[in-house]
Amino acid sequence: MPLILTRSNSNSNNVKYIFLTNGGGVSEAKKAEQLSKKFGVPISPDRIVLSHSPMRSLLPKYRDANVLVIGGKKSSCRQVAEEYGFKHIVTPEEVHAAYPSVCPISYCEDRPSPLAEEQLRDVHRPIDAVMVFHDSVDWGRDLQVALDALVSKGGSLGTIKDSQDLKTTKQSVPIYFSNPDIVWSNEYPVPRFGQGTFKMCLERIFKHLTGQDLEYTTFGKPIKTTYEYADSVLDKLAPLEREPSGRLPKRTVYAIGDNPYADIAGANSHGWESLLVKTGVFRTKNNENHHIHPATAVVDHVEDAVRWILTKEMAKE
């Protein structure tokens, strides 16, 4: 989870920070609680920007729509979507519970009791949009259910367009992805598949079946809309005060991250300073920079990045 530090001017030591991540699957409050325990200091939810946080912007359009929400463990992303304000939510797990044959190679998750009929009330309604909030925990099932919605007649699961319409008309519903990461890093020695790989699989299947390219909208780093959302969060934490001339001062923002294609590419394109750490996706024995998305500086780890930033800022004074 990259750390974003900002300073409105060189005369202030009141450095603000946010955590901007392509991770998610829980609420901002839950992630803040997790980080608070991990770091041993209180972290407020208003400092957290998850991959799906900017998807709040979809609420005016889909507040009352029937939305297929994909990703996360059990009902975690359903709960996040409900917290954001979406009123009608369907998950692949619920579709599978209502129609076990929807993906016979998969299995319905064990529960103390079956899903209540109340939880399945929207499964039988047409899907208006697909939103991938987080990484899938069951790729076979989730790819199948997402594709079903895309090639359905008017979003009705269990239907499919005739062969001519499949090849001549657009997908039945729009689809949104919360981040484009092909890989990400965890405790395993080499990077793991991310949501971007899931998207690539869905694109290839859709293309094979329809002959058309999948149309989609992506959030997350390095997408511009996510950085604009991060700016709005920083504006609330550290509002810029106009100078006597009426001009707004330039905010200096440092982005610390481990993924050149997400953290560094996004920061660079948005005019932020970027620091690439060697403790995640990016691994190098020396201090050479990334060949495609070079950072402002390459450092060993986050503590070194913070020291580098402090040294640079003190040199301005």
Q: pLDDT tens-digit profile of 5-35?
A: 665 554 445 678 999 999 999 999 999 999 9
Mean pLDDT of 296-312: 93
Ramachandran area for residue 7 (φ above 0: left; ψ -120 to 50: alpha; else beta): beta
Q: What is the pLDDT of residue 316?
A: 79
Q: What is the pLDDT of residue 212?
A: 96
pLDDT band at 117 (very low <50, low <70, confident <90, very high): low
Residue 289 has pLDDT above 80, yes or no: yes
Please indicate whether residue 248 or residue 177 has the higher confidence score (pLDDT). 177
Amino acid found at 20: L
Mean pLDDT of 28-56: 96
Go through 8-37 and write b for each residue having 16 or more CB atoms within 10 A of its CB, e for each that does not. beeeeeebbbbbbbbbbbbbbebbbbebee
Q: Are 67 and 131 in contact (CB under 8 A)?
A: yes
Strand partners, 184: 192
What mean pLDDT is reported for the chain?
A: 91
Q: How far apart are CA 84 and CA 81, in angstroms?
A: 5
Judge whether 3-22+221-316 and 53-218 match in fold: yes
Please indicate whether residue 175 or residue 10 has the higher confidence score (pLDDT). 175
Q: How far apart are CA 266 and CA 287, in angstroms?
A: 21
Query: What confidence tens digit (pLDDT) does each residue in 243-259 have?
Result: 888 788 888 899 999 99
Mean pLDDT of 135-154: 97
**Coil, helix or strand at residue 3:** strand
Mean pLDDT of 47-65: 97
Fold exhibited by the domain 53-218: Rossmann fold (3.40.50)
Q: How far apart are CA 128 and CA 115, in angstroms?
A: 22
Torsion of CA 82, 86, 90, 91, to 10 degrees: -50
Lowest mean pLDDT among 108-117, 208-217, 269-278: 108-117
Residue 275 has pLDDT above 80, yes or no: yes
Class for domain 3-22+221-316, per CATH?
Answer: alpha beta
Q: What is the pLDDT of residue 144?
A: 97
300's tokens: 């060993």
Q: What is the pLDDT of residue 88?
A: 96
39's tokens: 């770091």
Q: What is the pLDDT of residue 115?
A: 65
Q: What percent of the chain has pLDDT over 70?
A: 91
Mean pLDDT of 277-285: 87
Q: What is the pLDDT of residue 11?
A: 45
Lowest mean pLDDT among 41-55, 66-80, 216-230, 279-293: 279-293
Q: Domain spans of the chain? A: 3-22+221-316, 53-218
Residue 85 has pLDDT above 90, yes or no: yes
